């Protein structure tokens, strides 16, 4: 047999109603006695031991150790592999297709998923819309046990749980807006081991009952989404995020994964230190978004609002005209960012589009968010309270009627445009009187050199020359 050509081997197998199994040598040595007893021929080829077995034995053997072939039953357990062992990447890719129906990973996803699956802590910094959720969702599915995801926004949590359930993945959430009945249901799913992913709002960790529940259940991975919220250096600092480190120490998850779209070197270090990431794999994605067309336009007057003017409300004619022209050109799908609640209210009236800011009632904010995300609302005037968790793919215009407070915040806000890859126009209106804001924009916290270079050099560079902007102010 050893001396036969491949073709001759095939013919021999056909003739003898046999099939060939490639098994690894370890498995072979374990079942060798059975093989000899069965007078099955073996030979070595490129390090793989091939076994020629009758078709019925091969079929049974392929079912693996759970169902050993009758002839081998009650004997030593064995494993058979009919192909080389699957790598972490193969497993991840297979799960990607099976559970999410995507054909390939997006840049950065595998770089975050792979180390986590291999048991390493990870910090992933990927731009908004890059697909960070999938990184922990897919990892959770490939790990044994429960993954706890800390997320800052209820809307974000609900959306993700809904989307995962639609894919047939057992996920649940716990936050302050659930009824007692809903909370009890979620607790049950965690307790009985049904839930693979549990989303929690950080303030839930105040509850000793939840911590007890999680301790009892055992947590394989703790994921902190929007992890920059943990750092007081970050522009979205949340006090409740400071509770997470203590919880992490308590729960002792096998893997910790932190994800964010905005992390300066200070914030990155803060995340690693505060969350106690142990020798983490740090992956920073490419922040260059070629589909964002940035234009900076100097206005003749600064944006005014009714409350700071004792006289008649300013007409902001120049701002209104510029915004209306762009929204009309881009068929109205847009976000207009302003600096204050009063500006939001004022501009909302002038433009006749709804506004969003933290001063509005929660119900109204939720309704507005939902209307915008679902496509019912085509444009909105908003302060920076509007943004995190807003997943609408077709935003075609992001207009800053006033300068944002930092380059980071600006990048985050324009990042909500063009998430479907189509072009989005980003118009920044500014006036020299915004000097203080400009100074913060230019001198405030910035991305590390590489990111800043790619952002300023490639994306912003042609139109938004920060140095020139500084000179203008
Ligand atoms: P982020 O949290 O980074 O802002 P999300 O996790 O909300 O981004 O993902 C943005 C969108 O990208 C979602 O609609 C998601 O379904 C989609 N997405 C994620 N990964 C992939 C992939 N590998 N292939 C195709 N679409 C993906
Ligand atoms: Mg996200």
DSSP labels, 204-217: GGG-HHHHHHHHHH
Indicate if ligand 1 lies below 6 Å from the C-beta of 105: yes
Cα→Cα distances 292→59, 127, 382, 407, Å? 56, 13, 20, 15
Q: Each residue of 53-112: pLDDT tens digit?
A: 555 455 545 554 434 344 333 333 333 444 556 788 999 999 999 999 999 999 999 999
Indicate if ligand 1 lies below 6 Å from the C-beta of 102: yes
Indicate if ligand 1 lies below 6 Å from the C-beta of 133: yes
Nearest CA to ligand 1 atom 2: 132
Kindly give the distance from the C-alpha atom of residue 328 to the centroid of ligand 1, in angstroms, as a whole number. Answer: 28
Indicate if ligand 1 lies below 6 Å from the C-beta of 129: yes
Which pair of tokens denotes residue 450? 């590489």
Q: What are the φ and ψ backbone dihedral angles of 453, each rounded to 5 degrees?
A: -65, -45
Kindly give the distance from the C-alpha atom of residue 391 to the centroid of ligand 1, in angstroms, as a whole number. Answer: 10
Mean of per-residue pLDDT scores for the chain: 78
Strands 171-174, 197-200: pairing kind? parallel
Kindly give the distance from the C-alpha atom of residue 138 to the centroid of ligand 2, in angstroms, as a whole number. Answer: 14
Element holding 466 (H helix, E strand): helix 466-472
Kindly give the distance from the C-alpha atom of residue 419 to the centroid of ligand 1, in angstroms, as a whole number. Answer: 9
Spatial contact of 161 and 173, defined as CB atoms under 8 Å apart:
yes
DSSP assignment of 134-150 equals: HHHHHHHHHSSSEEEEE
Q: What does CATH list as the number for 292-472?
A: 3.40.50.300
Cα→Cα distances 243→1, 150, 207, 275, 280, Å? 67, 11, 11, 10, 21
> What is the model's pLDDT at position 21?
52
Of the two residues 13 and 80, the one the predictor is more confident about is: 13
Nearest CA to ligand 1 atom 20: 131
* Rg (the chain; Cα; Å): 29
Of the two residues 27 and 123, the one the predictor is more confident about is: 123
Of the two residues 447 and 167, the one the predictor is more confident about is: 167
DSSP assignment of 405-465 equals: S-HHHHHHHHTTS-TTSS-EEEEEEE-GGGHHHHHHHHHS----HHHHIIIIIIIITTT--
Helix, strand, or coil (residue 123): strand
Count of CB atoms within 10 A of residue 316's CB? 22
Q: Each residue of 245-300: pLDDT tens digit?
A: 999 999 999 999 999 988 788 889 999 999 999 999 999 998 888 899 999 998 98
Spatial contact of 222 and 196, defined as CB atoms under 8 Å apart:
no
Q: For 6, what's the count of Cα atoms within 13 Å in the CB-facing half-sphere?
A: 1
Helix, strand, or coil (residue 124): strand
- Measured from the alpha carbon of residue 151, the closest ligand is 2
Nearest CA to ligand 1 atom 16: 131
In the chain, CATH 3.40.50.300 sits at 88-284, 292-472
The best mutation among 106, 131, 163 to test binding of ligand 1, ranked by most ligand atoms within 8 Å of the C-beta, falls on 131
Q: At what angle do helices 154-166 and 362-373 cross, to 10 degrees?
A: 40
Indicate if ligand 1 lies below 6 Å from the C-beta of 106: yes
For the chain, the distance separating the N- and C-terminal CA atoms, rounded to the nearest angstrom, is: 85
Indicate if ligand 1 lies below 6 Å from the C-beta of 130: yes
Q: What are the φ and ψ backbone dihedral angles of 260, each rounded to 5 degrees?
A: -160, 160
β-pair partners for 123: 258, 282
The best mutation among 125, 134, 163, 414 to test binding of ligand 1, ranked by most ligand atoms within 8 Å of the C-beta, falls on 134
Q: Which of 292, 284, 293, 226 is nearest to 107 (CA)?
A: 284
Which pair of tokens denotes residue 338? 């302003």
Q: Which of 286, 294, 320 is nearest to 305 (CA)?
A: 320
Ligand 1 atom index nearest CA of 105: 23
The best mutation among 133, 159, 224 to test binding of ligand 1, ranked by most ligand atoms within 8 Å of the C-beta, falls on 133
Indicate if ligand 1 lies below 6 Å from the C-beta of 132: yes
Ligand 1 atom index nearest CA of 104: 23
Q: Each residue of 206-258: pLDDT tens digit?
A: 888 999 999 989 999 999 999 998 887 656 677 888 889 999 999 999 999 99
Q: What does CATH list as the number for 88-284?
A: 3.40.50.300
What is the mean pLDDT of the segment spanning 452-467?
37
> What is the model's pLDDT at position 85?
62
């Amino acid at each position: 047999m050893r001396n036969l050509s491949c073709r001759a081997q095939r013919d021999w197998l056909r003739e003898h109603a046999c099939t060939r199994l490639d098994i690894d040598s370890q498995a072979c040595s374990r079942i060798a006695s059975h093989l000899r007893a069965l007078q099955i021929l073996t030979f070595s080829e490129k390090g793989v031991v091939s076994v020629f077995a009758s078709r019925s034995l091969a079929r049974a053997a392929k079912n693996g150790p759970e169902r050993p072939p009758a002839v081998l039953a009650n004997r030593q357990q064995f494993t058979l592999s009919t192909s080389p062992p699957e790598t972490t990447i193969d497993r991840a890719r297979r799960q990607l297709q099976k559970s999410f129906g995507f054909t390939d990973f997006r840049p950065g996803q595998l770089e975050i998923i792979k180390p986590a699956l291999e048991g390493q802590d990870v910090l992933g910094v990927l731009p908004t819309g890059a697909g960070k959720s999938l990184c922990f969702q897919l990892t959770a599915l490939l790990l044994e046990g429960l993954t706890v995801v800390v997320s800052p926004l209820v809307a974000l949590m609900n959306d993700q749980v809904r989307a995962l359930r639609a894919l047939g993945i057992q996920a649940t959430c716990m936050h302050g807006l659930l009824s007692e009945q809903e909370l009890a249901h979620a607790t049950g799913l965690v307790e009985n081991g049904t839930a693979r992913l549990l989303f929690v709002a950080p303030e839930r960790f105040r509850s000793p009952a939840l911590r007890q529940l999680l301790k009892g259940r055992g947590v394989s991975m703790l994921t902190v989404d929007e992890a920059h919220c943990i750092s007081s250096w970050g522009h979205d600092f949340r006090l409740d995020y400071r509770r997470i480190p203590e919880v992490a120490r308590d729960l002792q998850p096998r893997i910790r994964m932190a994800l964010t779209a905005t992390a300066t070197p200070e914030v990155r270090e803060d995340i690693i230190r505060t969350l106690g990431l142990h020798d983490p794999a740090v992956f920073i994605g490419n922040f260059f978004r070629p589909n964002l067309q940035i234009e900076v336009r100097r206005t003749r007057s600064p944006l005014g609002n009714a409350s700071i003017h004792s006289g008649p409300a300013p007409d902001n004619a120049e701002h209104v005209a510029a915004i209306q022209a762009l929204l009309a050109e881009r068929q109205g799908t847009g976000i207009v960012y302003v600096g204050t609640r009063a500006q939001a209210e004022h501009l909302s009236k002038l433009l006749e589009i709804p506004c969003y800011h933290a001063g509005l009632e929660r119900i109204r904010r939720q309704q507005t968010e939902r209307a915008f995300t679902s496509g019912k609302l085509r444009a909105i005037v908003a302060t920076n309270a509007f943004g995190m968790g807003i997943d609408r793919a077709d935003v075609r215009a992001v207009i800053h009627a006033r300068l944002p407070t930092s380059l980071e915040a600006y990048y985050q806000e324009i990042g909500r445009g063009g998430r479907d890859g189509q072009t989005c126009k980003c118009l920044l209106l500014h006036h020299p009187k915004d000097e203080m804001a400009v100074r913060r924009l230019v001198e405030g916290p910035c991305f590390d050199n590489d990111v800043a270079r790619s952002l300023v050099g490639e994306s912003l560079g042609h139109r938004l020359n920060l140095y020139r902007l500084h000179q203008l102010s």
